[in-house]
Amino acid sequence: MPLFLSFSFILSVNAAPKPDPAPDSPPPVSTGLLKAPKGFQVELVARVPNAREMALSAAGILYVASKEAGVVSALDLKNPKKVYTIARNLEMPSGIALHDGDLYVATVSKIIKFGKTDSHLASPLPPILVTDQLPKKEHHGWKFIAFGPDGKLYAPVGAPCNLCNEDKDGYASIRRMNADGSEMETIAHGIRNTVGFDWNPKTKELWFTENGRDWLGDDTPPDELNRLSKVGMDFGFPFCHAGSIPDPEFGGEKKCSELVPPVQSLSAHAAALGMRFSTSKSFPATYQNGVFIAEHGSWNRAKKAGIG
């Protein structure tokens, strides 16, 4: 299975060579500084403006959330020129996930689902409310969602600021709930903003990226790759960054030694987003169970990171 990347268009990265495109295929797109290792190929799949997060069904239907546009789209990979609109006028839809044939969509304060979307692309069924019990502040309010090995739906709640100490159970956390929205609980704290996570295929532990705070310099603090090994862990925000950097404002309230350090520090201000464990048999064995991380790219660094 190829790895899909979203920009204002959708690309796939695959280890298997592709035949020459048909004469009526979409025109090529410049991938700029996006470079694939030898033996891999990057190809344009479709143009979906403002593409942010994606989910692929077993039938080959690719669902795409466009945060700024407020739209959720779908396209059949057998005919990706045809783009269907599943929903519009949503508040920052970003996270989408498939479960039992239904499409779940996260907005800022709600999660809704559309039933059996593969069979209703041209005329989607009315949305069903899963939960409206999420905070309403928009700053870091857009979400990545996914279903875990336990069948529960996981959703982050980002800090509503660059740096602040808001209600512990309300913000800077990860929550999980049943597929119908019931039994919601907070399972991790001290997470400024994660918009990408996955489960280790061997241990079933949750791993996630985290965006570090701004305005401590070009190279501080790093973004993070974290691992949740038990419910209730505190990953440090806003008291400590990257496991060893006390915050100038809040660092006196908790010691870094009391908090959970990252598994891996990433580039500062590169805005680490989606992450996936590699389980595709089409990729070389050296990639198996490895982690792929997408980076949005920095906006507030003298020399941009995560861009090239």
Handedness of CA 302, 303, 305, 307 (dihedral sign): positive
In angstroms, what CA-CA distances link 298 with 118, 179, 210, 243?
A: 36, 35, 14, 21
What backbone phi and psi angles, to 5 degrees, belong to 29? -120, 140
Q: What is the pLDDT of residue 32?
A: 54
Distance CA 79, CA 100 (A): 24
How much of the chain, in percent, has pLDDT values that exceed 70?
Answer: 90
- Decide if pLDDT at 21 tops 80: no
Q: Determine the average pLDDT of the residues in 137-160.
A: 97
Query: Residue 301: what pLDDT?
Result: 81
Whether the per-residue pLDDT at 24 is higher than 50: the answer is no
pLDDT band of residue 25 (cuts 50, 70, 90) is very low
Q: Give the separation between CA 308 and CA 289, rounded to whole angstroms.
A: 25
Once rounded to an integer, what is the mean pLDDT over residues 146-151?
Answer: 98
Statement: residue 89 has pLDDT above 60: yes
Q: What is the mean pLDDT of residues 253-268?
A: 96
Calculate Rg over the CA atoms of the chain. 19
For 17-26, 43-52, 85-94, 238-247, which range has the lowest pLDDT when averaged over its residues?
17-26
Mean pLDDT of the 13-34 span: 51
pTM: 0.90
Q: CB under 8 Å to 6, separation ≥6 — which residues?
A: 48, 51, 52, 53, 54, 64
Q: Which domains does the chain have, with CATH numbers?
A: 1-94 (no CATH), 133-308 (2.120.10.30)
- Structure confidence at residue 43 as a pLDDT band (50, 70, 90): confident
When pLDDT is averaged across residues 187-194 and rounded to a whole number, the result is 97
- Indicate if the pLDDT at residue 180 is higher than 60: yes
Which of 102-111, 156-165, 253-262, 272-281 is least confident?
272-281
- pLDDT-derived band of residue 293, with 50, 70 and 90 as boundaries? very high
Closest residue by Cα to residue 102 from 135, 72, 70: 72
Tokens 């920052």 correspond to what residue? Answer: 92
Query: Angle 229-235-239 (CA atoms, 0-180°, nearest 5)?
Result: 160
Mean pLDDT of 248-264: 97
pLDDT at residue number 307: 60
CA 77 to chain centre: 21
Give the pLDDT score at 23: 39
| pLDDT in the model for residue 27 | 45
Q: What's the mean per-residue pLDDT of the chain?
A: 90
Mean pLDDT across 5-30 = 55
Quick one: pLDDT at residue 1?
Answer: 63
Of 277 and 18, the structure prediction assigns the larger pLDDT to 277
